[in-house]
Amino acid sequence: MRLTQPLPGLFVTAALAAASLCAILPNPAAAQPAAVQQPAVRLDVPYVPTPPAVVKRMLELAKVTKDDFHMDLGCGDGRIAVMAAKDFGARSLGIDIDPKRIEEANANAKDAGVSDRATFRQANLFETKIADASVLTMYLLPSVNLQLRPRILSEMKPGTRVVSHAFTMGDWTPDHQEQVEGRNVMMWIVPAQIDGGWTVKQGDTTFTVNVKQQYQTFTGTAKMQGQDIPITDGRIDGTQISFRADLGKGAQTFTGQVDGNSIKSGDGPAWTATRT
């Protein structure tokens, strides 16, 4: 018999049977867990390896020794940290946000036999503590260097050596710069912070000095017996400072060592200073 119109009773029976069968039989698609897609890692800096000769020179400029704790930001395959540990004896930590690079770095440290001294961490360099490092190396980008600069100056200890491959830190002039195989290598020494007012004692004389610091250089004015005396040629090398001033005995060069809120004289005229 050929049906030209649907039979309601037949469709209802079929629908109930299909529903019952679906309830009994497992759904193959539902039985399989959905594939979890890992979000792509956002890289602030593309990975470009530093040539070995440049790596070596960066570490030489920083005068890395076994007493240093070295950090490499954007460590890539770990070559700088591995060389710092293997050839210079330092304890090194490499930071990179890319898990693939961290895997490579750990393998390279193991192959070099320095896994105990060169370690690596997948992390955002902007959120990584850098204050404990005595040497900091990086091959980043100018914009990233500028973002890091305030932290380097405020968080890192005076005397910390910072070495960058290729890129500057804006108007902070390097303490040393050279080319290696046609590539720029720059080093900065983190200066002590001496900006502001100081009370200076020299013998029986006490006077005030106001310092205006610009990274590792400074100028200032000493107020002595009602007179303003200019301070010139001010220089800060880590915790060591030097400047010239005429404090009544002709222009002299003064040197000293900064220790937080105090300064003690070095070679030359004896003097001390306390931050006000």
Question: pLDDT, tens digit, for every residue of 93-126?
Answer: 999 999 999 999 999 999 999 999 999 999 999 9
Mean pLDDT, to the nearest integer, of 200-207? 94
The pairing of beta strand 135-138 with beta strand 161-165:
parallel
* Statement: residue 20 has pLDDT above 60: no
Residue 229 pairs with which residues in a beta bridge? 222
Residue-level pLDDT at 40? 58
The reported pTM is: 0.84
User: For residue 205, which of 257, 274, 271, 250 has the smallest C-alpha distance?
Assistant: 271
* Statement: residue 137 has pLDDT above 90: yes
Q: Which residue has the tokens 């017996």?
A: 225
Mean pLDDT, to the nearest integer, of 186-208? 96
> Residue 2 — very low, low, confident or very high, per pLDDT cuts 50/70/90?
very low
Between the ranges 195-199, 203-207, 266-270, where is the mean pLDDT highest? 195-199
* Statement: residue 272 has pLDDT above 70: yes
| 24-58 per-residue burial string, b: 16 or more CB within 10 A, e: under 16 | eeeeeeeeeeeeeeeeeeeeebeeeebeeebbbbb
Mean pLDDT, to the nearest integer, of 235-244? 98
Higher pLDDT, 214 or 247: 214
* Statement: residue 30 has pLDDT above 90: no
Percent of the residues in the chain that have a pLDDT greater than 90, as a whole number: 81
Q: Which of 22-26, 73-77, 85-89, 120-124 has the lowest mean pLDDT?
A: 22-26
Between the ranges 32-36, 115-119, 250-254, where is the mean pLDDT highest? 115-119
The predicted-structure confidence for 40-56, as pLDDT tens digits, reads as follows: 567 778 899 999 999 99
Backbone φ and ψ for 151, nearest 5 degrees, come out as: -70, -40
Residue-level pLDDT at 44? 73
Residue 93: CB partners within 8 Å, gap ≥ 6?
69, 70, 71, 72, 81, 118, 119, 120, 121, 133
Q: Which fold has domain 52-189?
A: Rossmann fold (3.40.50)
Q: Which of 23-32, 105-114, 214-223 has the lowest mean pLDDT?
A: 23-32
